[in-house]
């Protein structure tokens, strides 16, 4: 009896179609708007609400529920020293966040930074430590729709250097390290 339980033909997640045209495209739901090209996706609703209440964020658009969301999702803009920045709360999980990102691209956003949190496997890291991902173990399904299958994915070294330079400039301590993606909010990575 063959000890190999599955072949790549048995697992659709391991298939990859390099054609960038999807069956459903975000421009079917969204028309280009005058949104800031830079966008920060903040995974903390409380931060978004606080900045909105303080007048830092101004609502400029609403992603309507006819696209990928069940409820409307507000798109904000912040005026910074470097110009306007779009800001959004992308919900929880890669499927919704990536779909919202696709719609934001259709609206005119082009450069994205995501700010979130997660647990750590390195016990000496203190809560609140800023981590720049250098690579990730892929234990979710969303990224397999954007990149060929692999156990890990590497971050662009140029992006890591740029992020580190910005944090150094502002005297913010950080770590560079590998992350582990997981769509199961309460699940244990690798649990089957």
Question: Which of 140, 31, 156, 32 has its CA nearest to residue 96?
Answer: 140
Give me the mean pLDDT over the 99-112 stretch.
Answer: 91
- Among 11-15, 62-66, 154-158, the minimum mean pLDDT is found in 11-15
Can you give the pLDDT at residue 10? Answer: 65
Asked if residue 41 lies in contact with residue 115, where contact means CB atoms within 8 angstroms, the answer is yes
Can you give the pLDDT at residue 1? Answer: 44
How far is Cα of residue 84 from the mean position of the Cα atoms in its chain? 20
The pTM assigned to this predicted structure is 0.81
């Amino acid at each position: 009896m063959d000890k190999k339980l599955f072949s790549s033909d048995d697992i659709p997640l391991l298939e990859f179609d390099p054609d960038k045209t999807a069956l459903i495209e975000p421009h079917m739901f969204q028309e280009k708007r005058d949104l800031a090209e830079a966008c920060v996706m903040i995974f903390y609703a409380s931060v978004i609400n606080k900045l909105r209440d303080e007048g830092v964020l101004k609502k400029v658009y609403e992603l309507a529920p006819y696209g990928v969301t069940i409820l409307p999702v507000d798109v904000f803009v912040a005026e910074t020293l470097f110009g306007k920045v779009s800001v959004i709360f992308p919900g929880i999980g890669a499927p919704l966040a990536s779909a919202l990102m696709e719609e934001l691209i259709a609206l005119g956003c082009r450069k994205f930074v995501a700010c979130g949190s997660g647990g750590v496997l390195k016990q000496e890291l203190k809560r609140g430590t800023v981590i720049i991902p250098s690579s990730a173990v892929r234990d979710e399904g969303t990224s397999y729709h954007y990149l060929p299958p692999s156990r890990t994915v590497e971050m662009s070294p140029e992006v890591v250097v740029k992020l580190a330079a910005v944090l150094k400039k502002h005297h913010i301590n950080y770590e560079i390290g590998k992350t582990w993606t997981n769509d199961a909010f309460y699940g244990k990575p690798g649990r089957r």
